[in-house]
Amino acid sequence: MTGSANPPIGTPTYVPYSNNMNQPSPGEDQLIDKIVEALHRNNEWAFKRYQHAVRDAHAKSHGLLYGELTVYDGLDPHLSQGLFKTPASKTPATYPVVARLSSTHPVIVSDQIRGVRAIAIKVIGVQGVRVPDTGLPGEPATTQDFVLVNRARFPFANARSYHTWGMPLASVLARSPELLLKLFTESLAAVQSVLHPFGISLPFALALFATPNTHILGETFYSAAPLRYGDYIAKISLAPLSESVTDLHGRRVPCKRGYDAITDMVTEFFRSKSAEYEVRAQLCTNLKTMPIDNAAVKWPEPGAKRTPPESVSPYCGVAKITFPIQDAGTPARRVYADDVLSFNSWRALEDHVPLGSINRLKLKTYEASSNFRHTMNNVQRCEPRSIKDLPP
């Protein structure tokens, strides 16, 4: 089985990974600590609102899925790396996976409100050298986490940019009444529609909330920030592969479906259909056009304007994830997804250590949020060791 995305033409030069690529800038650690404190206040505010702790991002689940990841055989050497290394045997490498679909709002809001959608994937039974000294409980685990969103780049370049612009925005989103959020996002969409014919776009951090509200299962998801990819550096994406989900691309969420429209649509889909998605890797070929420490830059792909051919890189298929027919929205699964599980891209093989300032920020913010959530809800978190750990 081979990937559906074609590998690069010719012989591009891939930037080799080295350990000195992931060093924080002066003052970054202190800045991240300030951000953690601010987001903790958002956690406390949400707890008072719900009398229950939720994530300070990705608060609302839209379904918890189990499935299987199959690594493609016959991968080129630059793609056969880490988790995606082509096995020496003729038997394809397969792993069970658990995946949580969500919206990235810091509070639970109506599915009719525009915003960023996400999928967090936990690959189970992964053997190999782990990222050291992360402080994540449950280590040494045998899981590999990928946290992906339906945007190819992050709205803020680094921790300093997030401290200046992202942190105030997160606080506003966490505390705004739902009606105001609805008015805000619809107003942004109206402004964007007026600007679009003139080739003008809203600032990216605002444009995130102006895009059409479409079916989550038809979305393509991205790591946005880079990670180590064995001997190289890459960004990861997950794209619809089977016709059952490619047909959902761009399909609007009907207003008449109400508050839990996306959640209900996911549950209804998996009652009668399965889905296949392709895991893809975009390898870094040029550190100037594909920076590690600026997550706001979208790495150029073939066809990018005014970009030299040697500075582009396509997303190439490396594996397939199959989600079978199942009940994705049972009460037990919702509790397991929202209260028990935690996802952090630093729970990873050393071959896939997250890179860059934004990822170093996520290490501490995700872990602080998880600690607060599990402590306040009096729930012990755990890393699943098989699909059997998933509630029916």
Residue 142 pLDDT level (bands cut at 50, 70, 90): confident
5 within domain boundaries = no
User: What CATH number is given to the structural domain containing 28?
Assistant: 2.40.180.10
Residues 6+ apart with CB under 8 A from 62: 101, 102, 103, 111, 117, 216, 262, 263, 266
Measure the CA–CA gap between 350 and 353, rounded to whole angstroms: 5
Q: What angle do CA 119, 96, 369 make, to 5 degrees?
A: 40
Q: Pick the closest to residue 311 from 289, 294, 280 (CA basis).
A: 289
* 122: enclosing H helix or E strand: strand 117-124
| SS3 assignment, position 48 | helix
2 within domain boundaries = no
Separation in Å, CA 228 to CA 48, 353, 363 = 39, 5, 15
| SS3 assignment, position 90 | coil
Mean predicted lDDT score pLDDT of the chain: 91
**pLDDT tens per residue, range 345-372:** 999 999 999 999 999 999 999 999 999 9
Which pTM does this prediction carry?
A: 0.93
384 within domain boundaries = yes
**pLDDT tens per residue, range 151-171:** 999 999 999 999 999 888 888
| SS3 assignment, position 317 | strand
- Evaluated on CA atoms 121, 123, 129, 133, the torsion sign reads positive
158 within domain boundaries = yes
Count how many domains the chain has: 1
pLDDT reported for residue 1: 47
Measure the CA–CA gap between 276 and 384, rounded to whole angstroms: 22
Maximum average pLDDT range among 41-50, 198-207, 235-244: 235-244
Compute the half-sphere exposure of residue 77: CA atoms within 13 Å on the CB side of its CA: 5
Q: Pick the closest to residue 222 from 51, 83, 95, 358 (CA basis).
A: 358
| SS3 assignment, position 236 | strand
Query: What mean pLDDT is predicted for residues 222-243?
Result: 97
Place of tokens 């009096």: 378
13 within domain boundaries = no
Measure the CA–CA gap between 260 and 60, rounded to whole angstroms: 10
Crossing angle (nearest 10°) for helices 167-175 and 28-50: 0
Around Cβ 348, how many Cβ atoms within 10 Å? 26
**pLDDT tens per residue, range 65-94:** 999 999 999 899 999 999 999 876 667 799
Say if residue 215's pLDDT is above 50.
Answer: yes
Domain that holds residue 23: 19-389
Six token digits for residue 330 = 């049972």
Residue 342 pLDDT level (bands cut at 50, 70, 90): very high
Q: Among 192-206, 211-225, 299-313, 344-358, which stretch is predicted with the lowest mean pLDDT?
A: 299-313
Say if residue 141's pLDDT is above 80.
Answer: no
**pLDDT tens per residue, range 127-140:** 888 887 776 766 56
6 within domain boundaries = no
Paired strand residues for 289: none
Residue 7 pLDDT level (bands cut at 50, 70, 90): very low
Around Cβ 386, how many Cβ atoms within 10 Å? 11
Percent helix, percent strand, percent coil in the chain, to nearest 5: 35, 20, 45
230 within domain boundaries = yes
Six token digits for residue 61 = 């689940």
Residues 6+ apart with CB under 8 A from 322: 67, 68, 70, 274, 275, 276
Measure the CA–CA gap between 267 and 65, rounded to whole angstroms: 10
| SS3 assignment, position 329 | coil
138 within domain boundaries = yes
